[in-house]
Amino acid sequence: MTESEEKAAFAQAMISANMNPLEAGQLVHPANFNRAAQIASMWHNDAEVKALIIEIKKAEIAETGISEDEKYVEEKLKEIIETSRFADDRIKALDKLMDLKGLSKKPQSGPAVQVVIPRAIEVPTHGTNEEWEAAAAQQQRELLNVSRSRH
């Protein structure tokens, strides 16, 4: 393998290894750790390797139409979907992922209709204060009678 071929393989391995030079070196030379460490230390900041990495990423984006940032977001959303304890978080992440992939069904554009539903709490009425006091006193007497009869 020539040095330029080795650099091209290292650049591809850097992308595969999430920009970890030692791991990329081991992908290029799995049986020779010394050579893997050597190229990792020499080439991780090499201008030719950096140019190759940029070229490979551009080719990948042109081929798939997905940028590296979109891939990262997609991976994180999938991770949330798989590991989240709460269903709401999984549903939200899945919804975002569907938006990212263009799979969510957007409502047809048309006149916006806003439905307002008033929120109210039903509160029982007790009539006059005297009626309420009488009903409360009666309830207390009944409770006391029940509690005395059980002892």
The answer to whether residue 109 sits within a structural domain is no
Question: Average pLDDT, stretch 122-150?
Answer: 87
Same domain, 56 and 16: yes
The answer to whether residue 124 sits within a structural domain is no
User: Measuring CA to CA, which residue among 10, 18, 8, 2 is closest to residue 41?
Assistant: 10
Q: What's the gap between Cα 80 and its chain centre? A: 4
Same domain, 93 and 76: yes
The answer to whether residue 147 sits within a structural domain is no
Residue 108 has phi, psi (to 5 degrees) of: -60, 140
How many domains are contained in the chain? 2
Same domain, 78 and 36: no
Question: Average pLDDT, stretch 71-88?
Answer: 83
- 69 or 33, which is more confident? 33
- pTM for this one? 0.45
Residue 49, domain extent:
3-64
Tens-digit pLDDT profile for residues 46-60: 899 989 988 888 887
The answer to whether residue 29 sits within a structural domain is yes
Same domain, 8 and 57: yes
Q: What does pLDDT average to over the chain?
A: 83
Q: How far apart are CA 75 and CA 39, in angstroms?
A: 29
Does the structure show a pLDDT above 90 at 83?
no
Q: Which residues have CB under 8 Å from 67's CB, separation 6+? A: 61
Q: Residue 92 has what pLDDT? A: 86
Tens-digit pLDDT profile for residues 94-119: 888 788 777 666 666 667 778 888 88
Sole residue written with tokens 């009488």: 134
Q: How far apart are CA 104 and CA 43, in angstroms?
A: 43
Same domain, 47 and 24: yes
Q: Which residues have CB under 8 Å from 104's CB, separation 6+? A: 95, 98
Please give the share of the chain, as a percent, with pLDDT higher than 90.
15
